[in-house]
Structures are given as structure tokens and as C-alpha cells.
Chains A and B, each alone.
Chain A
Amino acid sequence: MVWIAGQTLGTGANNIDFTSIPQTFTHLQARIFTRSSVAVTGHDLNMYTNTTSGSNMTAHLLEGNGSSVNSNSGYGNPSSISLVAWVPGASSTANVFGSVVIDILDYRNTNKNKTFRTISGYDANGSGQVNFASGMVMSTSAITSIGWFVGGGGGQMIAGTRFDLYGITTSQVTGA
């Protein structure tokens, strides 16, 4: 796994974007550490790519919050994938950030729509949530850029947030 690029916020930001993603890997992994400024305990982290447009995105999730479990789905959502990850907001316990890992297989394969696999969550010593989710962009175009923004309307990812993007290669040996 090779580090491609990263951003660590010194001040809040509405969006995080990685552009000009090298087209030399097979898979991508994003690793995220973030908290938002939205005055809620937790909410969605939304994702978009250069290939998202109109109503070409879907998502399905499995979540637990310490007392109940839930499964949800969204499809035909325009412009971004919500339900990708759950992160703490400003009303959560201070200094608690959420962790997110997103795996994108075959990101430049033009025979496939792009399916994302995400694990995310945070614990705040009496509150918190864990999510396991999927998302899809119904486009076979290669992904050349990825971006994120927080849900809840008008929020920012706060200082201390870190996003890192990694590339993963595959073997030329089949082992058949």
C-alpha cells in the first residue's frame, strides 16, 4: 500500500478534495480522522467523485449505536453518496474524532461501476456509533478525483482533521 497524498487541517474546511489521482494503482484506500462543526452529536460524511452526477449514486448501510441496530439504503441520490460514514459533530464529547476507512476496488476499471466499502465510527464513553456501509457510483469511468463534505448543512470539518489516500497494486502472477 503506497501513500499518494494527504491533508491535515489547520483550520476548518467545507470540503476535502484529492484531484489528479494517479492511474497507476488497482485499488484505492482513504483513511480519515475527522470531526465536524455541525451542532449535532453525529451525522453523515458525504463523498463524491469526478464520475458522480445526477442520480447515479447508491448506498446501503448497517449501523449500531450501543442500544439498537439499523439497516438503511439510499439510491438515486444526486451529486454525492451520503450514508458513507458517520462522524461526530460539535455536540459530541470534546476531542472525540471519528475514524473512517474507505476501500475502492478497481477504481480505474472501465468495465465496472465503482463500489465503495466503508467502516466508520466513534465512541464517546457513553455515546457513539459504528457504521459498515457500501456505496456505488453507476459510472464505469475511471475515478480521477474524490472529495468529501459533511452532512447536516453548512458544516465544516474542523482543525485536526486528517485525510490520507493510498494506492494498492496487484500481482502480475496468477498462481493458477
Chain B
Amino acid sequence: MQPIYTQTVGAGGTYVVTFNNIPQTFTDLKLVVSLRENSTGTINQLFVRFNGSSAANYSRTTVYGYNNGVFSDRATNQTEMGITFTNPGSSTASTFSNNELTIPNYTSSNFKSIIGDGVSENNGVLYAAPALGAGLWANTSAITSLTVFYSTVVIQQYTTISLYGITKG
């Protein structure tokens, strides 16, 4: 597993983190995310887009625990992928999520199937959600860029997002 890119969010935060010009020389990609955003009263998914596309061709199936309950949900024809959760501003201070997305065969001309496992933690029963997810980007293009983003909440300072490449033997 080889590190490709890493970004750390600076003071003031940001809405968007983008990795451009992803090398096309690996077999699979892995995205590792330690993220906190500033929403209150809710828990948000980790939203990702590929190649800057906001077309409604993302979908997901997830299973997660929340508030001592177990849930599974599905969403179709989405404009972004969100298969795990991140830490909101309402969660314990200085606490960031721990997420990993695996993107196999990212250069292939097939649709892209993504799997993810991620956790958000909190000193309490809310705002903490271990989640497993499967996502689809119904696009046959090779992935050349990846964006983590929110539209209305801010990704907080000290968030780190890393992209790794994995090569088959």
C-alpha cells in the first residue's frame, strides 16, 4: 500500500477536499479519513464524488448501529456517495471519525463498486455510529479525481484525508 496524497485541513476549515491527477498505475485505491465537521444536532455521512461528477448515478446500501439500535438503509440515484458517518460538531470535542473506503479496479471500464467501514465516536449514545457500506458509482470512466465535500457544513481544522494506492503482485 503506497501513500499517494494527504491533505490536512487548516485553520478556518473548508467545504471541499479534492485529490486531482490520481495516478492510473495502481490496481485499487484506499481512502483513509479522520474528519470532523461543524453540524449540530445530527450525524452526517462522509460524502464523496468521483471525477467531480454530481450526476445522479451514485447509490448505496449500508448497515449501522446508532443510539443502541441497528439499521440498514438504501439510497438510489444520488448525486454523491455516502456510506459511512463522520463526527459532527455536536460530538465530544477534539473527536474525529475513523473511516476507510476501498475502491477496487478504479481504472477499469466497469461501474465502480466501493466498500467502506467507518466509525464516529462520542461520549454518549448519540453521534456515534459504526457503519459498513457498499456503494456504486454507475460510471465506466477511470477515476482520476476524488472529492470529499459538504454543501452546508464545514470540514474542521485538523481533519486528515489520505489516499493510498494498492498494486497487485
Interface residues of A (CB under 8 A from B): 1, 26-27, 58, 60-62, 69-73, 75-76, 103-106, 109, 111-113, 115-117, 119, 132-136, 138, 140, 168-176
Contact of A58 with B128 at beta-carbon distance under 8 Å, contacts A105-B160, A106-B160, A175-B22 already known = yes
A selection of 27 A-B contacts at a CB cut-off of 8 Å is A26-B162, A27-B32, A58-B123, A71-B66, A71-B70, A103-B100, A104-B98, A109-B158, A112-B94, A117-B118, A134-B119, A134-B121, A135-B121, A136-B122, A138-B94, A168-B32, A169-B3, A171-B3, A171-B6, A171-B163, A173-B4, A174-B6, A174-B7, A175-B21, A175-B22, A176-B18, A176-B19
- Report, nearest first, the 4 A-B pairs whose CB atoms are least far apart: A71-B65, A175-B5, A134-B119, A171-B3
Return chain A residues, CB-CB under 8 Å to B51: none
- Tell me which residues across on chain B come within 8 A of A115, comparing CB atoms: 34, 95-98, 119-121
| Interface bin, chain B | 35 or more
Interface of A is mostly: strand
What is the count of residue pairs linking A and B with beta-carbon distances less than 8 angstroms? 146
A73 touches B34 (CB 8 A): no
Q: Tell me which residues from 118 to 153 in chain B have a Cβ below 8 Å from any Cβ of chain A.
A: 118-125, 128-132
B18 touches A73 (CB 8 A): no
B41 touches A (CB below 8 Å): no
Query: How far apart sit A78 and B160, CA to CA, in the bound complex (Å)?
Result: 29
A176 to chain B minimum Cβ distance, whole angstroms, is 6
Q: What is the minimal beta-carbon distance from B102 to any residue of chain A, in angstroms?
A: 13
- Asked whether any CB of chain A lies closer than 8 Å to the CB of B106, the reply is no
Instruction: Point out the residues of chain B lying under 8 angstroms from A60, CB to CB.
Output: 65, 119, 121-122, 128-130
State in angstroms the CA–CA spacing of A71 and B35 once bound together: 23
**B64 to A, closest residue via Cβ:** A62
Q: Is the CB of A105 within 8 A of B32?
A: yes
Chain A residue with the shortest CB-CB distance to B17: A176
Give chain A residues whose Cβ lies under 8 Å from the Cβ of B92: 58, 113, 136, 138
Residue ID in chain B nearest A55 by CB atoms? B123
- A170–B6 CB distance below 8 A: yes
